[in-house]
Chains A and B, each alone.
Chain A
Amino acid sequence: MITSPHQPDDLTVGTEAAPPPAPRDPKKIKWLRRKRALAGFWLVYRQSKMGMVGLILLVTFIFLALAAPLLVSRTDLGVSDPPGAPFLRPSGEFPLGTDDFGRSVLDLVIYGSRISLIVGFAATVMTMTVGAAVGIIGGYYGGKTDTLMNALTNWFLVIPWIPLAIVLASILGRSLFNTILVIGLTSWAGTARLVRADTLSVKERPYVERARALGASNWHLVSRHILPNVMPVIFANTVLTVALSILAETTLSLLGLGDPSSISWGGVIFDAFDAGALSAGLWWWLIPPGICICLVTLAFTMCGYALDEVLNPKIRER
């Protein structure tokens, strides 16, 4: 059987091999790797038109949100000393007209982007953390733990979220943090489902058994082997969840359950609705925040699709 010990190897053997690279600082190596990986990622992402449009939209809105305090003076948003008369049509001074107090709708919309984005991101972080934790714990440990986690997930999955959110919001009170909490609490179940399913498949792979034979602890197995393999699912889900969270925030605000002291797009629509903007034909008050919500949601969704394409080479067009 073993008759050809001098046969060249199926690979580069010592002879032509470069001298072993002096192992550098592992941290530096990791940083270099990340930089390279990011550059490669960008190269692929750039090719997606949809992704680029989404990204440009998103960057614009994020820039707007960050720069809001510079563009709009906080005093102009007060109801006591508004800059204009109520219900002014769009004009040179107020490009989007004014609301019932005489505040510039443009200012409101610019400022509102802050809350909408903050809530969107914060609620998503919560959704992902809770969803991933519940999904991985259930899927990895199995047995009774899984039954329990599954029951919990199913429970949150079948509960109609708006009534629950209304109840939670009215119990916890109307504040920004509570809005985030309510959205986070009511939307993690879907993520947990996806993550659990993926964990179940990953944990049976031979390399997980190998790592266990290696003497790895449960924590090590989960954090080093399962999580990295489940990450694409979580990641692809994240971007879409941001869009949903922003919509959820709008919904809650529209129902009058948002933070009354902060300005958000949903809140502006709520105020307009409340003041009868619809029947009075005050379109400039109602439509701009609506369009902004659409655009941001669309931007996230477009980025999500583009990311999916980058992360999942199978659906990438050649």
Chain B
Amino acid sequence: MSVLSVGDLHVTYRTKGGDVPAVRGVSFDIDKGHVLGLAGESGCGKSTIAGAILRLHSPKTKIEGNVIIDGQDVLSLKPGRLRAVRWTGASIIFQGALHALNPVRRVGDQIVEAITVHKLAGEREARVRTAELLEEVGLPARRIDDYPHELSGGQKQRVMIAMALACNPSLVIADEPTTALDVMVQAQVLQLLKSLQRELGLAMLFITHDLSVLVEVADRIAIMYAGQIIEEGPAEHVFHDPAHPYTKALAGAFPAIGDARFRGKPAGLGGDPPDPQHVPSGCPFHPRCPEAIAVCPTLDVELWTAGEDRRAACVHVSGAPVLSESRE
């Protein structure tokens, strides 16, 4: 059984300017010991999914579909049960660790908090466990009594990782864990996350806008566009041989150093991500797509088979039913 199973998830923000469908029918599963990478531009709904999994959105936000963590449907849980599932079932490494720590409380106390809130241990035991966790993420245990401002960005992110592991969750959601860190520290944090994930056999949902990061960390990658998954498959294949034109553009945006083809030609993608309130008809990517054909603005795309163990939502993939018709 998979640790996390998301089925046909819809998340709609209700704003004064009308409803904003940020996530429109997303499904995926993550098994124990596996890492799913979720990538896409800003505003495509990645972090919204992370929030929906633990139901962190305001009560006004409409969430439909199902989110099953360890056999429990999170979206139908009563508040008390929901609180129990938070952090023990799934924990989050938030983006921007610099702000996710309370500045007036010691970092150790904030990790202890995670353990004692769930009554997993008394305060004394929780402190021992916290010291171990800090060592585990490469921080000296004496840092337990430091305030967040006494730590560097990378150290704070380590604290967040230690905190995410505090209650032995079966799933860890890493929501852009390396943004706002410099490249060197970023590499170290990724290394740490990957090794901890392997060691503890965690299921992990890794959210980022940086495809190259995902290739290192994830087993499978799902690419999001306008609130939907538009391509999904094994990490290596999706990155090196993208099927969807959007994925191609994303992958092309990272020049391979030393590759003559990239010299002086930074590849980018024109246009802006679509306004979630006015998503284009048919394939939502068609206005920006370099490979769009006549049927794209009207064709309702879904994830079709695109090679072995891969799926993509594009008319050009082999599994697309319309392709044969349009060739005739």
Q: A residues within 8 Å of B by Cβ? A: 1-5, 7, 9-14, 17-21, 23, 25-26, 29, 33, 205-207, 209-217, 220, 224-225, 228-229
> Contacting chain A: which of B21-29, B111-119, B270-278, B290-298?
B111-119
The answer to whether the Cβ of B244 comes within 8 Å of any Cβ in the partner chain is no
**Cβ contacts under 8 Å, A18 to chain B:** 140, 142
The answer to whether the Cβ of B198 comes within 8 Å of any Cβ in the partner chain is no
Contacting A at CB under 8 A, from B149-196, are 151-152, 154-155, 158, 163, 184-188, 190-191, 194
13 A-B contacts (beta carbon < 8 Å): A5-B191, A7-B188, A10-B188, A12-B139, A23-B127, A210-B92, A210-B94, A213-B54, A213-B86, A214-B86, A215-B84, A216-B113, A225-B105
Q: B residues within 8 Å of A by Cβ? A: 54, 56, 83-88, 91-92, 94, 96, 99-105, 110, 113-114, 117-118, 123-124, 127-128, 131-132, 135, 138-142, 145, 151-152, 154-155, 158, 163, 184-188, 190-191, 194, 212-213, 215-216
Contact B124 A10 (CB under 8 A): no
**Cβ contacts under 8 Å, B145 to chain A:** 29, 33
Which chain A residue shows the least CB distance to B86?
A215
Contact A10 B154 (CB under 8 A): yes
Which chain A residue shows the least CB distance to B129?
A23
**Cβ contacts under 8 Å, B103 to chain A:** 207, 229
Which chain A residue shows the least CB distance to B254?
A1
Contact B87 A207 (CB under 8 A): no
Which chain B residue shows the least CB distance to A13?
B138
Of B88, B132, B140, the residue contacting A17 (CB under 8 A) is B140
Contact A224 B113 (CB under 8 A): yes
Interface of chain B, helix or strand or loop or mixed?
helix
Which chain B residue shows the least CB distance to A12?
B140
Of A10, A215, A229, the residue contacting B185 (CB under 8 A) is A10
Bound together, the chains give a CA A1 to CA B217 distance in angstroms of 11
Contact A206 B142 (CB under 8 A): no
Supply 20 further A-B pairs (C-beta < 8 A) apart from A7-B187, A213-B94. Answer: A1-B187, A2-B187, A2-B194, A4-B184, A5-B191, A9-B138, A11-B154, A11-B155, A17-B135, A19-B141, A20-B142, A21-B141, A21-B142, A25-B124, A205-B99, A206-B96, A207-B101, A213-B92, A216-B113, A229-B102
Known: A205-B99, A214-B86. A229 touches B187 (CB 8 A): no
Which chain A residue shows the least CB distance to B138?
A13
Pick the 10 closest A-B CB pairs, nearest first: A20-B141, A17-B140, A215-B86, A206-B99, A10-B154, A207-B102, A215-B83, A210-B100, A23-B127, A206-B100
Contact A215 B92 (CB under 8 A): no
Least distance between A137 CB and chain B CB atoms (Å): 17
Bound together, the chains give a CA A19 to CA B132 distance in angstroms of 11
Least distance between A28 CB and chain B CB atoms (Å): 11
Contact A23 B128 (CB under 8 A): yes
Interface of chain A, helix or strand or loop or mixed?
loop
Bound together, the chains give a CA A5 to CA B141 distance in angstroms of 22
Which chain A residue shows the least CB distance to B88?
A215
Name, among B86, B100, B101, B127, the residue most crowded by chain A CB atoms within 10 Å (CB to CB): B100
**Cβ contacts under 8 Å, B54 to chain A:** 213
**Cβ contacts under 8 Å, A214 to chain B:** 86-87, 91, 113-114, 117, 163
Which chain A residue shows the least CB distance to B141?
A20
Contact A209 B190 (CB under 8 A): no
**Cβ contacts under 8 Å, A9 to chain B:** 138, 154, 188
Contact B99 A215 (CB under 8 A): no
**Cβ contacts under 8 Å, A10 to chain B:** 152, 154-155, 184-185, 188
**Cβ contacts under 8 Å, A19 to chain B:** 141
Least distance between B153 CB and chain A CB atoms (Å): 8
Least distance between B71 CB and chain A CB atoms (Å): 18
**Cβ contacts under 8 Å, A206 to chain B:** 94, 96, 99-100
**Cβ contacts under 8 Å, A205 to chain B:** 99, 102
Which chain A residue shows the least CB distance to B115?
A214
Contact A3 B99 (CB under 8 A): no
Contact B127 A20 (CB under 8 A): no
Name, among A207, A216, A228, the residue most crowded by chain B CB atoms within 10 Å (CB to CB): A207
Least distance between B93 CB and chain A CB atoms (Å): 10
**Cβ contacts under 8 Å, B154 to chain A:** 9-11
Of A1, A7, A209, A220, the residue contacting B56 (CB under 8 A) is A209
Least distance between A232 CB and chain B CB atoms (Å): 9
Which chain B residue shows the least CB distance to A216?
B117
Which chain B residue shows the least CB distance to A220?
B117
Least distance between B215 CB and chain A CB atoms (Å): 8
**Cβ contacts under 8 Å, A14 to chain B:** 135, 138, 140
Known: A14-B138, A210-B94. A215 touches B216 (CB 8 A): no
Least distance between B7 CB and chain A CB atoms (Å): 22
Contact A4 B139 (CB under 8 A): no
Contact B131 A20 (CB under 8 A): yes
Which chain A residue shows the least CB distance to B101?
A207
Name, among A209, A215, A228, the residue most crowded by chain B CB atoms within 10 Å (CB to CB): A215
Which chain A residue shows the least CB distance to B60?
A143
**Cβ contacts under 8 Å, B114 to chain A:** 214-215
Known: A23-B127, A207-B99. A224 touches B188 (CB 8 A): no
Contact A26 B127 (CB under 8 A): yes
Contact B139 A207 (CB under 8 A): no
Bound together, the chains give a CA A1 to CA B256 distance in angstroms of 11
Known: A11-B155, A18-B142. A1 touches B216 (CB 8 A): yes
Bound together, the chains give a CA A210 to CA B173 distance in angstroms of 12
Least distance between A20 CB and chain B CB atoms (Å): 3
Contact B135 A20 (CB under 8 A): yes
**Cβ contacts under 8 Å, B187 to chain A:** 1-5, 7
Name, among B103, B138, B145, B212, the residue most crowded by chain A CB atoms within 10 Å (CB to CB): B138
